[in-house]
Structure 1
Amino acid sequence: MWIGGKWREAKTYEPLYSPHTNEFLSDIGQAEPADAIEAIVEANAAFQKFRNYPAHARAKILAKVADILEERSLECAEIMALEGAKSIRNAREEINRTVQTYRFAAEAAKSNYGEQIPMDAAEGGENRFGFTIRTPIGVVTAITPFNFPFNLVAHKVGPAIAAGNAIVLKPAEQTPISSLFLAEAFKEAGLPDGVLNIIPGKGDVLSEALTTHPYVKKVTFTGSVEVGHIIQQQAGFRKLTLELGSNSPFIIDEGVDIDQLIERSVMGAFSYNGQVCISIQRIYVHQSLYGEFLERFVSRTKQLVIGSPLDEKTNITSVISKKSLDRLQSWINEAVQEGAKIECGGTVVGNVLVPTVLTNVNRDSKVSRFEVFGPVVCIAPFDTLDNAIAEANDSRYGLNSGIITPSIERAFYAATRLETGGVIVNDIPTYRIDNMPYGGWKDSGVGREGVKYAMREMMEEKFISLKFSDNN
């Protein structure tokens, strides 16, 4: 554990294994509630000084961390490949994005603007000057997922530090080494002791302390809807960001050139084995293109290479756990019993679920209704754009959606009606860059990430009014 700028021994340790090979990787300290409380107390003490750090100093720290990660990018990528079974190519891409995220955070630290209020726009506002400032909120606790163990951590740690806050990070149980790597990177970059604390352990053991301690002013969580609801109840009136589940729809309209989208669509469905919040889960194809698209999509899917995460040629590796693999198999079998057809995949090789394409899926089957979070995609035809939009919106989730169409009118028509926090036009819903606003509607969560947007949610806005003498 990393608490108060020092390594701390835990009372208990648990072994961490590679999900792809079952190889032993390390013994990981398991924080207890008392450790979480100690980390929060240390963070609060550090915050009292760090809140006054000038913006340029915070920016330099974040920029230095970006440089360290860039210099050690291969080491970081290999950590992800081992503990998360992410293909080495995807892992390198994530580190590149992580470096960019911390650089965005460095820029955001220097761009903390308020707003001038025209006081004399209201009667009684004469001779007054009004403005707002944003101030750091205090201790932020962050609970992060396994699927992007460097970059999604950066989306919480970077904005928190840019804003002048202190943070206590609880990384995902399967990918703690990626987070623990940050401890000495931030130390080397000059971050004061106690501003960043990292406590690996089990969420159900630590969540109450992380969400209810009186020093905690903001909780940010990325994970499942079910856990998000528990955290929302625990956190009470604290500021809260919840990045929860998704079930991303992708609409392919009539008149589209299929040559331009097969590769991109397959990538959007199966990148990191579909374990991406905005992975394509449902594809709706205009009936005039459906047959050709399905044939070519299945053909390209069958060409994906299954192999070791450390092999440069690998596209598909194991999913994160045996529990996840068993769930995916159960959902596929249930869908078939309810009438679905397996166009390819559906089988298991070692710890790997072969990429699976389903058609004729009952809309109430789990693979269509809930978040699959695995290498499974459902494809269906549609007659009219209104039908496709209605099908896409028939979900408890609303994170990202996508539509590809040659018509700007139909693009805007769909974009204004799709019930998601982001609509990606003429690309897959899996598209994300790290400075764009990112967050969902409905059960996909509350709040927004995307560096400057996350930073704003980690600050308090204060209005200040100055009255001048009436004699002037």
Structure 2
Amino acid sequence: MNSLAHKKSVDLSDATLFIDGQWLSCDKNMQIVNPFDHSVLANVACADEAHVSLAVASAKRAFETYKHQGSGERAAVLRGAADLITERLELFAQTIAKETGKPITASRKEVTRCVNTLMLSAEEATRLTGETIKFDSFAGGENRIGHYDLVPLGVVVAITPFNDPLNLAAHKLGPALAAGNSVILKPSQQAPLSALMLVQVLLEAGLPAGRINVLTGSARDFATPLVASKDVAMVTYTGGEVSGEIIAKSAGIKKLAMELGANSPVIVMDDCDLQKAVEGCVSGSFWAVGQNCIGVQRIYIQEGIYEAFKLEFARQTKQLTVGNQLNDATDVGPMINEKEARRIESWVNSAINNGANLLAGGQREGACYYPTVLECVDESESLVCHEAFGPVVSLFAFSDLDETIVLANNIDFSIHGAVFTSNINTAMKVSRELDVAGVMVNDSTDYRLDAMPFGGAKRGSLGREGVKFAIREMSQTKVFCMNL
């Protein structure tokens, strides 16, 4: 194991583990490649169980040292990091686009959202307050006064995905650090570079060494001992169901927060603004190459406007530009890798072979899969039953709203649903009956404000993100009671 001295900027080809204030390299590495042209972006170190022990020990020591650090100091670090990212917006955006395939315009938006997430975290650091308790509300407590505070949990393990590699890391690091915890970050093995840059700016902004440790590489090599460690107080994870279940089984007795994906339904009523509905659904279906846990996947359109909606939706989809994600004119770049593009190709081909009609797309070039629209997809197809996580959407005509809500709810994991209508009664009915964690009215399912509560419903309901809510997930109450 070789070490580099703690410095403001690290050459990502040399060292990507950050443990106890040092950037470390090791013998085993993996390449991070641009999914469009397969150029090598960096070599990252692959952590193992020995690194886990060092990182956990470092985080634990730092927590004991800094757990009483003032909220103003914690907020200052987060604001400083936000300012540095703003200054380097284009560098961060280029990195996101190169490592994920996300179009550069969408990557720039992710950077601005990350800045907002960190600023919200700074604000909430100084708002994390308890309240007084009326001990005299019950006999025997007349001479007692007191209150409760919210205090940090300890060491938080944060495991993040590739699709929003910067902002989703910020949604875990920002609240965890604002609350006073120490963090061990495991960024996506496919796209860790922008998350590493986030760690760098946090350190540059004054985050004490040890408050954050980073383990890169393949989760299968070290994730189980990491999440199982008894010195870890909480695991926060965003990713797939299979890995989520492994984490839950391995973690033992500790707090868990998980966002496990979704299969987002949209209901389009015949009294809606048709153009607004089409534009919102096209954007919601194909933003970020469809690799979006709240992206539109199933659209149920009332029969009276089905043909008009279908034709306009297909027309707008065909106008989207596919190609190099670094070009400003590109709407849809490559998926994270060719394997994922081939999976989507297989799912689409299966649906077509079983009777679905192809309205747009259906082509693959390397890791690029063209935005695809299908109709008449059988309910048993993977594109309907599971999270597609790619640039594919299925259209369905309906006549009975109640039956359609049942179909929309016929999934195990959900986050957002949506309805387009001009009737407030319909909006309220759908909002009440959709079994989701958030309902967007006259908007796409992929709308998210970083300040709002965000997380899964049904089987995916394990905690909430959204800075104000995440910071409370990452804290615990502590009561002070004085007997006068």
Q: 1:173 is aligned with what amino acid?
A: Q
Match of 2:170? 154
Amino acid at match of 1:19: P
- Whether the 8 Å contact between 1:5 and 1:187 is mirrored in structure 2 is no
Tell me if the contact between 2:296 and 2:445 (Cα under 8 Å) persists in the aligned partners. yes
Instruction: Give, in angstroms, the shift of residue 368 of structure 1.
Output: 0.3
Look up the match of 1:382. Answer: 398
The corresponding residue for 1:347 is 363
The letter for the 2-side match of 1:57 is E
Question: 1:187-237 deviations in whole A, cap 9, x for unaligned?
Answer: 210110011111111111121122111210000000001110111111122
Provide the TM-score with structure 1 as the length reference: 0.97
How far apart in 1 are the matches of 2:89 and 2:180? 27
Contact 2:415 2:456 in 1 (8 A): yes
Specify the alignment match of 1:425 in structure 2: 441
Letter of the 1:248 counterpart:
S
CA distance, structure 2, for counterparts of residue 404 and residue 129 of structure 1: 52
| Of 266, 288, 299, the match for 2:315 | 299
Q: CA deviation at 1:131?
A: 2.4
Per-residue CA shift, 1:3-57, capped at 9, x if unaligned? 1121111221122211111111111111111112211111111111111110000
Task: Say whether residues 1:58 and 2:74 are aligned partners.
Answer: yes
Tell me which residue corresponds to 1:460. 476
What is the correspondence of 1:183-222 to structure 2 with a 5 Å cutoff? Answer: 183-222=199-238
- Match 2:98 to one of 82, 94, 103: 82
Q: Which residue of 1 aligns with 2:14?
A: none
**Following the alignment from structure 2 to structure 1, what is the Cα–Cα distance between the partners of residues 89 and 31?**
25
Q: C-alpha separation between the residues in 1 aligned to 2:378 and 2:482?
A: 62
* 8 Å Cα contact 2:266-2:298 kept in structure 1: yes
Give per-residue Cα distances to partners, 1:423-469, cap 9 Å, x unaligned: 1122111100101000111233410000111111111112333323x
Q: How far apart in 1 are the matches of 2:328 and 2:469? A: 35
* TM-score normalised to structure 2 length: 0.95
- For residue 96 of structure 1, what is the aligned residue in structure 2? 112
Cα distance in 2 between the residues matched to 1:444 and 1:301: 30
Q: Secondary structure at the match of 2:433?
A: coil
Shift of 1:181: 1.1
C-alpha deviation, 1:85, in angstroms: 1.0
Which digits, 9 at most, give the CA deviation of each residue in 1:97-156, with x for residues without a partner?
000000000001000111333333334333332422111000000110000011000000
Q: 2:68 is matched by which residue type in structure 1?
A: N
CA offsets 1:299-328 (integer angstroms, 9 cap, x no match) = 000000012111000001111112211211
Matches within 5 A, 1:323-338: 323-338=339-354
User: How many residue pairs end up in the alignment?
Assistant: 468
- SS state at 2:387 partner: coil
* Letter paired with 2:300: Y
1:225–1:443 CA contact under 8 A, matched in 2: no
Q: Distance in 2 between the 1:466 and 1:252 partners?
A: 58
* 1:4-403 pair list within 5 angstroms: 4-403=20-419
Counterpart contact for 1:19–1:83, Cα < 8 Å: yes
Per the TM alignment, residue 280 of structure 1 is displaced from its structure 2 partner at its CA by 0.3
Residues 412 and 459 in structure 2, CA contact (< 8 A), matched pair in contact too: yes
Secondary structure in structure 2 of the residue aligned to 1:330: helix
Given residue 349 of structure 1, which amino acid in structure 2 is its aligned partner?
E
2:25 is paired with a residue whose SS is: coil
Judge conservation of contact 2:156–2:176 (CA < 8 Å) in 1: yes
3-state SS of 2:56 partner: helix
Instruction: Decide whether the 8 Å contact of 2:336 with 2:367 is kept in 1.
Output: no
- 1:403-427, Cα deviation, whole Å (9 max, x unpaired): 1211112111111111111111221
The share of aligned pairs that are identical, in percent, is 38
What is the identity, as a one-letter code, of the residue corresponding to 2:64? Q
Give how far 1:396 is off.
0.9
Is there any run of 5+ residues in structure 2 with no aligned partner, and where?
A: 1-16
SS at structure 2 position matched to 1:424: strand
Contact kept in structure 1, 2:237 and 2:259, CA below 8 Å: yes
Give the distance between the partners of 1:337 and 1:132, measured in 2 at CA.
Answer: 61
Instruction: Answer whether contact 1:245 1:443 (CA < 8 A) is retained.
Output: no
Q: Give, in whole Å, the separation in 2 of the partners of 1:122 and 1:140.
A: 37
Aligned partners of 2:147 and 2:427: how far apart in 1? Answer: 39
Alignment-derived partner of residue 4 in structure 2: none
Residues 284 and 388 in structure 1, CA contact (< 8 A), matched pair in contact too: yes
Q: Which residue in the other structure is 2:431 paired with?
A: 415
Indicate if the aligned counterparts of 1:63 and 1:103 stay in contact, CA closer than 8 A.
Answer: yes
Q: Matched residues in 1 for 2:295 and 2:216: separation?
A: 27
Rounded Cα–Cα distance in structure 2 between residues aligned with 1:46 and 1:419? 41
Q: Is the 8 A contact 1:421 1:438 kept in 2?
A: yes
Amino acid at match of 1:197: N
Distance in 2 between residues matched to 1:292 and 1:177, nearest whole Å: 44
Query: In structure 2, how many angstroms separate the alpha carbons of the residues matched to 1:281 and 1:466?
Result: 56
Moved beyond 4 Å, runs of 4+:
none
For 2:346 and 2:480, the matched residues in 1 are separated by: 58
Q: Is the 8 A contact 1:179 1:198 kept in 2?
A: no
Decide which moves more: 71-80 or 23-32: 23-32
Indicate which of 402, 405, 411 corresponds to 2:421: 405
Please give the alpha-carbon distance, in whole angstroms, between the structure 2 residues aligned to 1:391 and 1:123.
Answer: 53
Instruction: Indicate conservation of the 8 Å contact 2:184/2:212, yes or no.
Output: yes
SS for the counterpart of 1:416 is helix
Q: Is contact 1:285-1:381 (8 Å) kept?
A: yes
CA RMSD of superposed structures (Å): 1.2
2:320 and 2:239 map into 1 onto residues whose CA distance is 28
**Residue type at the aligned position of 2:345:** Q
